[in-house]
């Protein structure tokens, strides 16, 4: 399993800007433009990547599917903001925690890493270039492992 970085105590978007050319943490978020096929591929692969998410999807149905797709898209949007992977990870975790009473999404580092890694592979693959080389390599290995699975 790929382990990205979890910024547990950080605040999303707390990076200070020192010039107008740096990305703003208050810039509007823009979800990736995806097709129904990409969304379906994301949902299939994310439940293959983490058995806890497969169980979650079976128990929660449409609520789970919406929560997973929302979190994956949100990660892409926060990453595109340009404030770094740590801030993107923290922002999604904070948002998910705020909705957990409604969605019951499992709140583990493994779960978030699975959602975000699969989002990069399926929803916003062009954003892989925004990650450090070592993280890109781990995510590509996960993608290769998921591609090898029957189904």
Tens digit of each residue's pLDDT (9 = 90 or more) over 65-82: 999 999 999 999 999 998
What average pLDDT score do residues 6-31 get?
44
pTM: 0.78
Q: What sign has the CA pseudo-torsion 65, 66, 69, 74?
A: negative
pLDDT given at position 94: 92
Domain boundaries, the chain: 36-148
Look at residue 137 and tell me whether its pLDDT is greater than 60.
yes
Look at residue 17 and tell me whether its pLDDT is greater than 90.
no
| Higher per-residue confidence, 1 vs 144 | 144
What average pLDDT score do residues 2-25 get?
34
pLDDT given at position 26: 64
Q: What angle do CA 90, 107, 64 make, to 5 degrees?
A: 105
Phi and psi, residue 61, nearest 5°: 55, -125
Residue 51 confidence class, pLDDT cut points 50, 70, 90: very high
């Amino acid at each position: 399993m790929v382990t990205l970085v979890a910024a547990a105590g950080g605040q999303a978007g707390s990076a200070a800007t020192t010039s107008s050319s740096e990305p703003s943490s208050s810039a509007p978020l823009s979800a990736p433009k995806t097709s129904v096929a990409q969304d379906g591929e994301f949902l299939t692969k994310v439940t293959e990547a983490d058995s806890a998410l497969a169980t979650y999807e079976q128990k929660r149905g449409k609520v789970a599917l919406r929560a997973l797709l929302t979190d994956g898209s949100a990660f892409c949007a926060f990453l595109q903001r340009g404030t770094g992977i740590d801030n993107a990870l923290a922002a999604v975790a904070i948002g998910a925690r705020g909705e957990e009473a409604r969605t019951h999404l499992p709140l583990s580092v493994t779960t978030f890493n699975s959602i975000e890694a699969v989002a990069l592979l399926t929803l916003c693959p062009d954003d892989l270039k925004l990650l450090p080389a070592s993280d890109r390599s781990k995510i590509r290995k996960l993608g290769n492992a998921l591609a090898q699975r029957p189904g």
